[in-house]
């Protein structure tokens, strides 16, 4: 039986799910669903999905509506992951502003600034434990086995490597324009260098918001200047902006298409390929 890879995004208004399988090192999109949430609650909705797609077992979950805290900190590279974890347990109130028990957190080494090459930069992502736990419990009771809890930005930075025209060893930028917010990412080899999320209103044009962001980024990371920028926005926003550009498509050598994903569904694809 073919193994399915599932990315699950739970919003307040909808649930987005991407079901992929892998054949001859190529990803095949089996199904992409966007289900509007009913008034009966998340558990019922998830049960419905489970009933509809019986092959679902493990899933990578993303909870985009829950606020996430992302911080970078610098530590001695000789410290082991356990030691860093202990350090975070002790210093959580200082680093994250709340005691350790308040968060679900994880960390990863990230690209250091050249001036701090003797130290190792770590990126810490933290999400409030209580609200997350509630959602997780609902997902589990609906029969989903949650393999990992991921974030939108990491899913997108993972997906950049699979875009058409992607150039390895070059710094790529990605701008995701939603209806109310704008997300900017800079990635190198699928690893996140910089991220910025700003609220977005129609009073300002996308270019007005983007220009200072890119300028700021290039000034802070001159050695990782952007060579490519992918702009992800739905057609409605682009028409308001008056921009006419084609959305990036996925590399045909990696993806075997039977469905072409919408821009809004890209995050769930990025989630599904977690670990690859």
Q: Is 275 in the site for other proteins (CB under 8 A)?
A: yes
- Footprint of other proteins on 142-181 (CB under 8 A): 146, 148-151, 154, 158
The continuous run of DSSP H or E covering 62 comes out as strand 58-62
Q: Does 6 bind other proteins (CB under 8 A)?
A: no
Whole-number Cα distances in Å, 125 to 73, 95, 98, 108 = 11, 11, 13, 9
Q: How far is the CB of 148 from other proteins (least distance, A)?
A: 4
Query: Which of these ranges, 36-44, 122-130, 213-221, 242-250, lies near other proteins under the rule CB under 8 A?
Result: 122-130
Residue 99 binding other proteins, by CB under 8 A: no
Strand pairing class (120-128; 171-177): unpaired
* Residue 105 binds other proteins (CB under 8 A): yes
Work out the number of other CB atoms within 10 angstroms of the CB of residue 109: 14
Per CB under 8 A, 274 contacts other proteins: yes
Q: Which residue has tokens 């609902």? A: 138
Q: Does 108 bind other proteins (CB under 8 A)?
A: yes
DSSP 8-state class, residue 111? P
For residues 51 and 138, is the Cβ–Cβ distance under 8 A?
no
The verdict on 65 binding other proteins (CB under 8 A) reads no
Q: Provide the terminal-to-terminal Cα distance of the chain, rounded to the nearest Å.
A: 20
Q: Which residue, 91 or 201, has its beta carbon nearer to other proteins?
A: 91
With respect to other proteins, which residue has the nearer C-beta, 71 or 234?
71
The CA distance from 103 to 92, in Å, is: 9
Chain positions contacting other proteins, by CB under 8 A: 81-82, 85, 104-108, 123, 125-127, 132, 136, 146, 148-151, 154, 158, 274-275
């Amino acid at each position: 039986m073919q193994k399915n890879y599932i990315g699950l995004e739970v919003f307040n208004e909808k649930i987005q799910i991407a079901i992929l399988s892998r054949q001859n090192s190529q990803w095949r999109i089996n199904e992409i669903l966007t289900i509007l949430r009913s008034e009966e609650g998340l558990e019922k909705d998830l049960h419905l999905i489970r009933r509809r797609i019986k092959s679902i077992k493990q899933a990578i979950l993303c909870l985009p509506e829950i606020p996430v805290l992302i911080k970078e900190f610098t530590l001695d590279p000789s410290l082991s992951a356990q030691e860093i974890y202990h350090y975070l347990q002790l210093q959580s109130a200082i680093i994250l502003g709340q005691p350790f028990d308040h968060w679900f957190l994880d960390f990863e080494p990230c690209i250091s600034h050249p001036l701090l090459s003797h130290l190792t930069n770590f990126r810490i992502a933290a999400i409030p434990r209580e609200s997350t736990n509630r959602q997780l419990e609902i997902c589990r009771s609906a029969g989903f086995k949650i393999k990992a809890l991921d974030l939108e930005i990491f899913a997108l930075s993972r997906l950049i490597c699979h875009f058409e025209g992607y150039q390895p060893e070059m710094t790529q930028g990605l701008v995701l324009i939603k209806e109310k917010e704008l997300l900017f990412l800079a990635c190198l080899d699928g690893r996140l260098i910089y991220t910025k999320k700003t609220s977005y209103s129609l009073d300002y044009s996308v270019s007005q918001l983007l220009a200072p962001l890119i300028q700021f980024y290039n000034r802070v990371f001159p050695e990782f200047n952007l060579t490519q920028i992918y702009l992800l926005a739905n057609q409605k926003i682009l028409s308001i902006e008056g921009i006419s550009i084609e959305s990036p498509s996925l590399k045909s050598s990696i993806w075997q298409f039977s469905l072409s994903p919408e821009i809004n569904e890209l995050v769930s694809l990025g989630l599904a390929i977690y670990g690859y």
